[in-house]
Amino acid sequence: MAPCLQSGRRMMNRWLLVASLFVALGLARQASAAPAWCLADNPNKHDDHDWERAVKKDDPVWALYYLSNAVCGSDSDLDEHKDELEAARKYWNAELDMTEADWADVAYWQAVTQSMRYYTAPVSGPKPEKKAWSKYTPVEQYLVLADLRDERDYFVDALGPNLSELARMGYIEHCISTNENQEVTWAMCAGDIAAFDTKKLAAEIRSDKIADGYGRTIFRMKAWALKKKLADHAAAVKELIAKDEAFGKMFDIAANARKEWDSRASSRAALLELVAQMDDGRITSSRKALEGCDDKTQAAWAAAVGKIPAKSWEHMRTNPETAKRFIDQAIGPIINDPDAELASLALMMCAQANDRSDYVVDGLASSLAYWPGYRGPRSAALTAIVSAGLTFDDRDFKLRIPSVRHEWVKLKYSQSGGFGRGVLSQAKSDGKKIHVVFQAKLENQVQCAKSRTTNRLERIDSDGRLVYAEQCLQTKTVVVNKASDPQNVSTRYAAGVKPGAYVEIYGDVTAAVWDKASSAVPSVVMGVPVR
């Protein structure tokens, strides 16, 4: 072969080798393929490829933002840092209880504006309307809870076994951030802080379809921020208890009340289910949900009130001199008994939904509207604290009690119908009402038999008529019956109503029955036999 041809081939081979190297180098300079979770077609995605900020472990807001951009971006210069980036992702997977699939949520979240990426941002979403509380998803529970104030404890308690970890997180967030009534509020939510389960929370966030990728990421960051805050909160609680031993007692009272309530929850499961049905019916305004509730709630209420010792109403009577009525005093032992209070809630909700009103229903409503009660462990804790009568070393300190106001309770401050009390001489039933007649109570009374009108002006009526004083010229003594007028009472409240019994009647309600006028303890209270 000619020397010049051999030289030309050697030259060509060298150029081919160089070209191959350039091609290889060019391929090597291409960035690694983006993971499947990256939103490659998202027109709003950002391209801030700062690997140093991406691997920081102090703030998930910026770390996840830059991690998502770096991993999903096309900057080949980041390839040499891919091990560091992957290590950072594993760190945040552990911190935020995330899986590989959850990074699709991060990619969705990072595409929004900066002001919306912080974990302090509210999570928006469709709030349920006329949907039963028992049917709420975890996200719906959280969203509704955020809008509540005086009803927050009742709502979380009413969720019962359906309480989600998301709702518990929301409850704790409000608890530890409040500046109002914080000492009592902290004691009430201590049990929720102890029970807070981040693993369960992560599973709920992942499975709930109400929130989108943005919302799920914000929830994960809120959980991370809450865990950090709880450490500071624990220190604040420790400092509070060290300040005055009464605060330690308050936390113990709340813990014991919650423990007592939880220990009895299974035994009152049927009663709690009945109250939950009434809550659902009230929220949904469903006639079907409340169908037949009158008989069910009355039976549950009678069973619960019947277990209260009769001595709880000992020496209670209407006192005209102090204007204290028996029926008002008698509500106290009922709403202070956990089972009777729960049954009272059910009875009142059913009656008010069906527009049934009487002295019992309205009396219960006026008390339950502002009473924490025993709807669940949190309200039970508040009731226990309120009733404890704690004394603090600082005489100027006043324990601030969280307000309770159930806006859905319909309050009525007046009732039509008569009032009667005394020993019965007759009691006849027509199947719906019982007509009662009181024993005669005869008294001699001096009355004016003859009078004349004087010239002394006594008053001027609203119509302008002048009224002059009367002067009695002659008196007479007559016998009058001071007994109460006959009454018609409902058969619902007619237990024990019989001749010889002493009763107090308000409208068509027999408030109580005593076997004798001299009896200190009633035998029947509001239609329920007691022992």
What are the tens digits of pLDDT across the range 94-125? 999 999 999 999 988 988 888 888 888 878 77
User: Does the pLDDT value for residue 39 go beyond 80?
Assistant: no
What is the predicted pLDDT for the residue at 48?
62
452 and 515 assigned to the same domain: no
User: Does the pLDDT value for residue 11 go beyond 90?
Assistant: no
508 and 527 assigned to the same domain: yes
500 and 471 assigned to the same domain: no
What is the predicted pLDDT for the residue at 42?
57
Give me the amino acid identity at 274.
L
Secondary structure element (H or E) that encloses residue 504, with its range: strand 502-506
Class of residue 420 by CB neighbours under 10 A (exposed 0-12, middle 13-18, buried 19+): buried
- Domain boundary residue, one of 74, 98, 116: 116
What is the predicted pLDDT for the residue at 129?
87
- Domain boundary residue, one of 388, 406, 432: 388
437 and 460 assigned to the same domain: no
Cα-Cα-Cα-Cα dihedral sign, residues 347, 353, 356, 358? positive
User: Does the pLDDT value for residue 21 go beyond 90?
Assistant: no
User: What DSSP character marks residue 249?
Assistant: H
- Domain boundary residue, one of 99, 116, 133: 116
301 and 358 assigned to the same domain: yes
98 and 11 assigned to the same domain: no
Average pLDDT over residues 172-194: 93
Q: Are residues 503 and 421 in contact, defined by beta-carbon separation less than 8 angstroms? A: yes
What is the predicted pLDDT for the residue at 170?
96
277 and 384 assigned to the same domain: yes
Distance CA 313, CA 327 (A): 10
Secondary structure element (H or E) that encloses residue 488, with its range: strand 487-490
More confident residue, 39 or 451: 451
What are the tens digits of pLDDT across the range 375-417? 999 999 999 999 999 999 999 999 999 989 999 999 986 666 7
What are the tens digits of pLDDT across the range 487-530? 999 999 999 999 999 999 999 999 999 999 999 999 999 999 99
89 and 68 assigned to the same domain: yes
What is the predicted pLDDT for the residue at 305?
98
What is the predicted pLDDT for the residue at 10?
43
User: Does the pLDDT value for residue 26 go beyond 80?
Assistant: no
What is the predicted pLDDT for the residue at 526?
97
Which residues form the domain of 528?
418-441+483-531
What's the residue count for the chain? 531
The domain total for the chain is 5
268 and 382 assigned to the same domain: yes
Task: Enter the pTM of the model.
Answer: 0.84
Q: What is the CA radius of gyration of the chain?
A: 37
What is the predicted pLDDT for the residue at 108?
87
Question: Is 196 a member of any domain?
Answer: no
Name the pLDDT band for 447 (thresholds 50, 70, 90).
Answer: confident
Percent of the chain residues topping a pLDDT of 70: 91
282 and 363 assigned to the same domain: yes
Question: Is 41 a member of any domain?
Answer: no
287 and 366 assigned to the same domain: yes
463 and 525 assigned to the same domain: no
More confident residue, 8 or 265: 265
What are the tens digits of pLDDT across the range 272-329? 999 999 999 999 999 999 999 999 999 999 999 999 999 999 999 998 877 889 999 9
Q: Are residues 65 and 48 in contact, defined by beta-carbon separation less than 8 angstroms? A: yes
Question: Is 176 a member of any domain?
Answer: no
Give me the amino acid identity at 33.
A
